[in-house]
């Protein structure tokens, strides 16, 4: 059980340093790279991390790494992997191959490279069971990742098993309905990038939409692991719980005990939620309804949030409000069309300047000219990738 392996936790682009601090906070030494953080530890610590991370999207465990000069060497090297510890005959699987730029230029066809790895898995399983599990591209029960990067004139291949299966940013509460929600772990990264003094300060999302930022702020303030939201419905949502190495290990009882603690402690915290910290507003009643639906699904209650349904540009600040204002206004494109988007951003700036003195505002929006309409001094800016959109979180001091 104390054997250490290499792990890779992926995250939305821009959140790598936050993820690294999260990894470090588990007493693990991590190294951040593009799109995630690698760290070395034992299985128990990795599971503990999966149960408590706010930022990671998925966590992968390295099964093998080797150098190759050409693609033929993949099959031969991968035959050393004990695939049967990670997959059973009644599982289905998928293999994804990611190439860096040089590997892409050399090998060109990532599907073929996945097939080479698949052949080694299939032959290993046939050698033991005379049979092999089936591939399922859409809904596999076990996923593997092959990363190939150029390395000292050769290529380095890393083969990983996806420990989580589900994407951890999917907290399990979302209902369809809102047009432009953020990924949940990106929302968590936004909240955690601010200087919100969560023990004492109020929090306001004036364009709350379906509530993604608000929900992450609540989880963060109350120190509730996001995993709680899935675990309360299903205690084994992660694919490692179906893998043989885990089922054969002495971690099983410990895991269920951890899950029980998370569920029980979170419930106690939720029962103690108090009114007075969280404020939420949206122009559209239908969005507020969706936000409340999401809050009920997460916490079973909405009474601790002060809701208003108003035009932010017209409404007064909530009474006695001082604290943190964090929101992502419409960008004026695609789904959220606004006639005069430059004027809209200008007015947001004026509203904040005149009505929110003594607070700090953080606005998450597109990188580019749009935010320049806000005539306030930016005191900090942090880069994030929101899907394929290049975005920034801007901080404004409203003194
Ligand atoms: C980009 S969405 C926010 C998405 C939200 N963060 C989420 O993840 O669901 C912008 C929201 O601003 C709201 N909105 C647009 N103009 C507004 C205004 N003048 N006052 C208040 N809310 C407004 C829209 O109804 C929409 O829900």
Averaged pLDDT, 33-41: 94
Q: Record the pTM.
A: 0.95
Domains and CATH numbers, the chain: 4-162 (3.30.2130.30), 184-222+273-398 (3.40.50.150)
Give the tokens for residue 324.
């943190």
Q: Where are the alpha helices (DSSP H) in 224-278?
A: 227-231, 244-247, 252-271
Residue (of 146, 147, 149, 185) closest to 166 by Cα position: 185
Residue 207 near ligand 1, beta carbon < 6 Å: yes
**Could you tell me if 187 and 267 are in contact, meaning their C-beta atoms sit under 8 angstroms apart?**
no
Mean pLDDT over all residues of the chain? Answer: 95
109-111-113-114 Cα dihedral, nearest 10 degrees: 160
Q: How far is the CA of 281 from the centre of ligand 1 (A)?
A: 9
Give the tokens for residue 56.
């990671």
Identify how many contiguous H helices and E strands the chain contains and give both numbers: 12, 15
Give the tokens for residue 379.
């005191």
Q: How far is the CA of 166 from the centre of ligand 1 (A)?
A: 28
- A 10 A CB-CB count for 92 gives 16
**Atom from ligand 1 closest to the CA of residue 181:** 8
Residue 178 near ligand 1, beta carbon < 6 Å: yes
Query: 3-state SS of the chain: helix, strand, coil percent to 5?
Result: 35, 25, 40
Residue 12 near ligand 1, beta carbon < 6 Å: no
**Could you tell me if 256 and 247 are in contact, meaning their C-beta atoms sit under 8 angstroms apart?**
no
Q: How confident is the model at residue 336 (pLDDT cuts 50, 70, 90)?
A: low
> Measured between alpha carbons, how far is 344 from 121 in angstroms, rounded to an integer?
56
Percent of the chain clearing pLDDT 90 (strictly above): 92
Q: How far is the CA of 204 from the centre of ligand 1 (A)?
A: 13
Averaged pLDDT, 275-300: 97
**Could you tell me if 342 and 381 are in contact, meaning their C-beta atoms sit under 8 angstroms apart?**
no
Percent of the chain clearing pLDDT 70 (strictly above): 98
**Atom from ligand 1 closest to the CA of residue 182:** 8
* β-strands 154-162, 142-151 pairing: antiparallel
Residue 365 near ligand 1, beta carbon < 6 Å: no
Instruction: Kindly tell me if the per-residue pLDDT of 348 is higher than 70.
Output: yes
pLDDT, tens only, 52-97: 999 999 999 999 999 999 999 999 999 999 999 999 999 999 999 9
Instruction: Kindly tell me if the per-residue pLDDT of 1 is higher than 50.
Output: no
**Could you tell me if 351 and 313 are in contact, meaning their C-beta atoms sit under 8 angstroms apart?**
yes
When mean pLDDT is compared across 2-6, 230-234, 302-306, the lowest value belongs to 2-6
**Atom from ligand 1 closest to the CA of residue 344:** 19
Instruction: Give the sign of the dihedral formed by CA 156, CA 39, CA 140, CA 386.
Output: negative
Q: How confident is the model at residue 178 (pLDDT cuts 50, 70, 90)?
A: low
Phi-psi region of 165 (alpha: psi -120 to 50; beta: other; left: phi over 0): left
The pLDDT value given to residue 176: 74
Give the tokens for residue 260.
């029980």
Averaged pLDDT, 169-182: 83
The pLDDT value given to residue 97: 96
**Could you tell me if 360 and 241 are in contact, meaning their C-beta atoms sit under 8 angstroms apart?**
no
Q: How far is the CA of 285 from the centre of ligand 1 (A)?
A: 11
Residue (of 72, 80, 70) closest to 154 by Cα position: 70
* β-strands 30-33, 134-135 pairing: unpaired
The pLDDT value given to residue 40: 97
* Burial status of residue 233 (CB atoms within 10 A of its CB: 0-12, 13-18, 19 or more): exposed
Averaged pLDDT, 349-371: 96
Which amino acid residue places its CA nearest to atom 17 of ligand 1?
283
86: CB partners within 8 A, 6+ apart: 63, 142, 144, 161, 243, 244, 245
Q: How far is the CA of 357 from the centre of ligand 1 (A)?
A: 22
* Test site for ligand 1: of 309, 330, 363, 391, most ligand atoms within 8 A of the Cβ: 330
pLDDT, tens only, 132-157: 999 999 999 999 999 999 999 999 99
Q: How far is the CA of 396 from the centre of ligand 1 (A)?
A: 19
């Amino acid at each position: 059980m104390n054997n250490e392996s290499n792990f890779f936790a992926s995250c939305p682009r821009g959140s790598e340093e936050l993820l690294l601090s999260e990894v470090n906070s588990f007493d693990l030494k991590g190294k951040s790279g593009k799109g995630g953080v690698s760290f070395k530890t034992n299985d128990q610590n990795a599971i503990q991390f999966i149960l408590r991370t706010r930022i990671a999207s998925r966590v992968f465990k390295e099964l093998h790494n080797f150098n190759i000069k050409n693609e033929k060497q993949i099959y031969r090297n991968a035959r050393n992997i004990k695939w049967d510890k990670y997959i059973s005959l009644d599982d289905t699987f998928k293999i994804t191959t990611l190439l860096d730029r040089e590997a892409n230029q050399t090998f060109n066809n990532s599907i073929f490279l996945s097939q080479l790895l698949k052949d080694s898995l299939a032959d290993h399983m046939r050698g033991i069971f005379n049979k092999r599990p089936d591939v399922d591209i859409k809904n596999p029960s076990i996923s593997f990742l092959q990363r190939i990067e150029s390395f000292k004139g050769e290529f380095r291949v890393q083969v990983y098993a996806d420990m989580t299966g589900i994407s951890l940013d999917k907290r399990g509460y979302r209902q369809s309905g809102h047009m432009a929600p953020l990924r949940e772990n990106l929302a968590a990264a936004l909240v955690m990038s601010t200087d919100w003094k969560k023990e004492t300060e109020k929090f306001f999302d004036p364009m709350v939409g379906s509530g993604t930022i608000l929900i992450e702020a609540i989880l963060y303030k109350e120190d509730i692991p996001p995993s709680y939201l899935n675990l309360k419905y299903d205690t084994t949502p992660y694919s490692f719980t179906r893998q043989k190495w885990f089922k054969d290990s002495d971690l099983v009882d410990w895991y269920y005990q951890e899950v029980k603690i998370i569920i029980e402690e979170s419930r106690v915290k939720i029962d103690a939620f108090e009114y007075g910290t969280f404020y939420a507003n949206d122009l559209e009643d239908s969005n507020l309804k969706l936000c409340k639906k999401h809050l009920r699904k997460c916490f079973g209650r909405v009474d601790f949030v002060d809701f208003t349904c108003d035009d932010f540009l017209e409404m007064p600040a909530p009474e006695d409000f001082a604290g943190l204002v964090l929101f992502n206004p419409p960008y004026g494109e695609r789904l959220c069309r606004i006639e005069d988007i430059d004027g809209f951003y200008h007015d947001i700036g004026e509203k904040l300047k005149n009505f929110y003195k003594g607070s700090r505002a953080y606005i998450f929006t597109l990188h580019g000219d749009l935010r320049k309409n806000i005539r306030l001094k930016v005191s900090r800016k942090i880069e994030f990738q929101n899907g394929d959109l290049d975005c920034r979180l801007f901080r404004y001091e409203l003194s």
